[in-house]
Chains A and B, each alone.
Chain A
Amino acid sequence: MRRSKIPDNKIQTGLEQLRQIEWLLKGSQEGTEPAQGKSNPQRSYGDLTELNRERLILDSLGKDVLNEVISDYLDLLDSSAAVYEYDGSYASGIFTSSWCRFMDETSRNLCQGDNKEALSCGQWHCHESCWQTSKTSMDSKQPADLECAGGIRIYAVPIFCDEKIIGSINFGYGDPPTDESKLQELAERYGVPVQELKTRAQQYRSRPTFIIELAKRRLATAAKLIGEMVQRRQAEERYRELSHQLAQSNEELKQFAYAAAHDLQEPLRTVVNYVSLLSRRYQDKLDNKADKYIENARQGAQRMQALIDDLLQYATVQYNQGAFKQVDLSALVDRVSANLRITLEQTGGHVSRDELPIIEAEESQLAQVFQNLIGNGLKFHSSEPPAVHVSSTRGERQWQFSVSDNGMGLNMEYSERIFALFRRLVTSDEYPGTGMGLAICKKIIEHHGGRIWVESEPGKGSTFFFTIPDRTSTTDYKNG
């Protein structure tokens, strides 16, 4: 390239613009290795990232992704780049220019021992400058721009993750020195002939300023990107840890419920069975009162048993996405109605339904919901034979179901209370039950991501509504 002898600003600006155009036309310079694609460039002394003990950045992004991030700005330059962890460990290091590679390897050869010893001996000049610039950027929390031992400059920016500095990323830039005294000084420091340096310096083709400025901006973006990726990785790990803990504590709770139910049931069984044995063996030898007492004891124990069963069921209702599958609700409601056959016969009741959809849910849990709601509709009937109707409507992102009856209805003042554990609005003598059926329904529906409520008026029947999110329309989410 021909240099103008006239130090005229206009000529300088024109020259710079010309260089820009030339750069854009020619793209990558001769005698350089593009960083792109060289994901694992080999140095003669091996891979420094193997010594990384911190591994936060390295493990969060992985070698390949880190090298891609670096390549993105290093393609603009022809030099070197490094990513440091907070403790100075190398997360990545790439050299593309023959100048930087030569200087780095030469200074490495000034050091004795393995890489670990070499890094701490202070004679690995290129490493020392590189790390010092990054350390300065971390200490000052600002970009650092320092001259390096190898005669060019290094620009470093700190990497923030959640406002905390976790490392630094840098690159080398600028023309190798051309003046005699500077080259002489370098030759002495690195222990190489000055002529060798001169040749290599001449091979280097200068970068226009705008390219360096662009690279600096890209470096800042790269630092942000790395910080965000580390943060995301940490959040993912935290999420995994928490879901693991949750699954564990759910399982513990479940096992506790089974053990408690078992241990409560054992003595209860003894009571019930011996009372039965007593009544069998001494049926006619005792008076009517005794028979009544025995019957009361038996009923009490049976109620206790029902409570334990329902408590166990309530405690073991858990969110288990894995158990979700396609459920044909029409068939399910028919099955539930068949189970309630005895109640239907006793009450002269009738269950009807509209055509119901196929939805994604946990089948046994949903069967429990319909069983409880339809069962309630039959149980709390008015003077008329009970009639229960099940229907569904499609919302934008969910299904809404309703189970309505022509029963005794309830005062809306208590419409929230009925879904609480053990809450009953009528005595168990009149209407047997544990007061847990609706609480179980509520828990199941909430585990399915829906909600349940009632609309009613005393003497005019009740309608229970519940919603279930439509998972079939969000396939991606389901598979995630």
Chain B
Amino acid sequence: MAEQSQILLIEDNAADAELTLEAFKQSRSPLIVNVVRNGVEALSYLRHEGEFSASIPPKLILLDLSLPCKDGHDVLAELKTDPRLMSIPVIVLTTSRNPRDISAAYKSHANCYIRKPLDFDRFLAIIEAIESFWLEIVELPAKEETR
């Protein structure tokens, strides 16, 4: 049986998070989506700190930009400068269409920037595309032994 792919969803809006989970439910392959609600939690999760000491490193990170306190840009910058985390692909998933956000995200080495569509069908299509591209087509680095 194929190993379950872990995905970390960093999203502060509960309704939005649930919607993304709903979309992933249509998934063909076995997936586990973990949700954290803010940037501080996200970094703790990824660094296995505190309550997340037993967390499993995700294959993929979905990052919302508008987060309380430490916002998406801050989290992205920290992720991409941390040698242990920088190789995990980060997909920015946000409603913002501000060219500044887009440019800043890529400058911080986001792997791609996707605008959340208004329409649910479209959203399903996007989640499916993410899954097929990032988890099926793309070769990701082997999971490093975590200390």
A residues contacting B by CB (< 8 A) are 255, 258-259, 261-262, 265-266, 268-270, 272-274, 276-277, 280, 301-302, 305, 312
Contacts and interface: CB of A to CB of B under 8 A. Distances in A.
B94 to A, nearest CB: 8
Interface string B111-144: 0000010111101000000000000000000000
B66 interface: yes
A265 B118 contact: yes
10 contacts: A258-B96, A258-B101, A259-B98, A262-B66, A262-B97, A262-B98, A269-B116, A273-B19, A273-B120, A277-B22
B99 to A, nearest CB: 8
Contact of A272 (B66, B97, B119): B119
Interface residues of B, number: 18
Interface in B78-129: 95-98, 100-101, 116, 118-121, 123
A255 B22 contact: no
Contact of A276 (B16, B66, B116, B120): B120
A273 B116 CA distance: 11
Contact of A273 (B96, B100, B123): B123
Given A262-B96, A274-B15, A269 B118 contact: yes
B13 A255 contact: no
Main secondary structure of the interface of A (DSSP, over half): helix
A268 B95 CA distance: 11
A272 B13 contact: no
A266 B118 contact: no
Given A262-B66, A274-B19, A255 B98 contact: yes
B19 A266 contact: no
Given A261-B97, A276-B120, 15 more contacts: A258-B97, A258-B98, A258-B101, A262-B96, A265-B95, A266-B13, A266-B95, A268-B118, A269-B16, A269-B116, A274-B19, A276-B119, A277-B19, A277-B22, A280-B120
Nearest to A272: B118
Contacts of A261: 97
A270 B120 contact: no
A302 B100 contact: no
A256 to B, nearest CB: 11
Contacts of B98: 255, 258-259, 262
